[in-house]
Amino acid sequence: MTKGGEAGARRPGAAAPGVACTDLLATAAARLKQARKLPPGPERNELRQVAIALRWLAAHELSPERAQQLREMLQRETERG
């Protein structure tokens, strides 16, 4: 259970404008899969923290400026591979 409601409950329209909630969650899942392949250490922790941050972003509404920054960051990340 999450705080204040059912497990997995989300506020309507919580995803950042222009960034689909499912995109953020899919990216978070991919980062967690990458982290599981690594031995314990700083690289693994970094990927896990990124996944946690993406899950938070999927659950909270962002300002248009922050949403644009997030889109640009995710685009750079996907270009890097």
Residue 10 has pLDDT above 90, yes or no: no
| Distance between CA atoms of residues 16 and 67, nearest Å | 5
Q: Considering the entire predicted model, what is its pTM?
A: 0.61
Q: Six-digit token pair at 70?
A: 């997030």
Q: Six-digit token pair at 19?
A: 């960034």
User: What's 61's DSSP letter?
Assistant: -
- 16 or 25, greater pLDDT: 25
| pLDDT tier, 19 (very low <50, low <70, confident <90, very high otherwise) | low
CB hemisphere CA count around 32 (13 angstroms): 11
Residue 51 has pLDDT above 70, yes or no: yes
| Distance between CA atoms of residues 46 and 80, nearest Å | 16
